[in-house]
Amino acid sequence: MKVGVSTACLYPMETKIAVTQLLENGIDLLEIFFNTISEIQNPYILDLDSMLKSFGAQVKSMHPFTSGYEPYLIFTDYVNRYKDSLEFYKNYFTCAQSLGAKILVIHGDRKTAETGISDEEYFEKFGELANIGRQYGVTVAQENVNVFRSQYPDFIRKMKDYLGSNASFVFDIKQAVRAGVDPYEMCEAMGDRLVHIHINDNNAGNDCLLPGAGDVDYQRLFEILKKNSYSGDFMLEVYRCNYDDMAQLVNSYEYVKKIVSEFFGKTDKD
């Protein structure tokens, strides 16, 4: 169990530069949010891999630049486009394999079962993508995302029941808050199929803040995680407008390491 930082925290900084800044500030576990197709191809991947190895760092998870297009690419009733998209997503899995990343985060579908494919069709398509990812050693994980179908705990529960061990989830605190959902309920809904966490904070006037700057009851959250035997990592993910400089981001990263270590015991690298 470790703590890391997503390059999304530095967006729109170019991905390689964002990775370099995080590495140079002592952060050795990353989620990389790729922003265009050339970034998941060589020589870009080779450059990233060389940088990571020189710092002894690890990429735990990846976020595809096509997240906003997943309703059109994956969760569609147009069969040929769906098949082509499954082939295209192999580019992400190959990239993940090259960098040692174990999780691919997806957003899913904006349409509801009334305006798009049924929930059951959604789950079947997710399951097929997950099965392909598994061949590359990559877990495809559904994130709870505001204005997407996954924003509601009931949908997450239904997905978990339908797919069983083929369901995997990413919990993002800010996304639950933005959706007007109790984040603790969302975390409970994911239960023992939760594999990854985007950690952040919030208060009455702000739905996304650096961890430690808001009112999130991390003790309560950690109790839920412990009850469900969570063994994944904590990836700090906020927006660039949520902090002033790199020192604040690093201080928050150190804060999360401290509270995780205090509750769960020593992290893998303290």
Domains of the chain in sequence order: 3-264 (3.20.20.150)
Task: State what percent of residues in the chain have pLDDT above 90.
Answer: 98
Mean pLDDT of 94-108: 98
Torsion region of 261: left, alpha or beta (phi above 0 gives left; psi -120 to 50 gives alpha): alpha
Under the banding of pLDDT at 50, 70 and 90, the label for residue 268 is low
Q: What's the pLDDT tens digit per position in 182-198?
A: 999 999 999 999 999 99
pLDDT at 270: 40
pLDDT at 172: 98
Peptide bond into 71 cis (omega under 30): no
Mean pLDDT of 114-133: 97
Q: What's the pLDDT tens digit per position in 40-61?
A: 999 999 999 999 999 999 999 9
Q: Are 163 and 127 contacting, i.e. CB atoms less than 8 angstroms apart?
A: yes
Tokens of 188: 């409970």
pLDDT at 63: 97
Q: Are 147 and 160 contacting, i.e. CB atoms less than 8 angstroms apart?
A: no
pLDDT at 20: 98
With 60 as the cut, is the pLDDT of residue 269 above it?
A: no
Mean pLDDT of 98-113: 97
Model confidence, pTM:
0.96
Q: What's the pLDDT tens digit per position in 8-32?
A: 999 999 999 999 999 999 999 999 9
Report how far residue 141's alpha carbon sits from residue 62's, in angstroms, rounded to the nearest whole number: 10
Q: Is the dihedral of CA 148, 169, 191, 187 positive or negative?
A: negative
Name which of 63, 237, 39 is nearest 140 in CA terms: 63
pLDDT at 100: 98
Q: What's the pLDDT tens digit per position in 216-242?
A: 999 999 999 999 999 999 999 999 999
pLDDT at 267: 55
Q: What's the pLDDT tens digit per position in 244-264?
A: 999 999 999 999 999 999 999
pLDDT at 173: 98
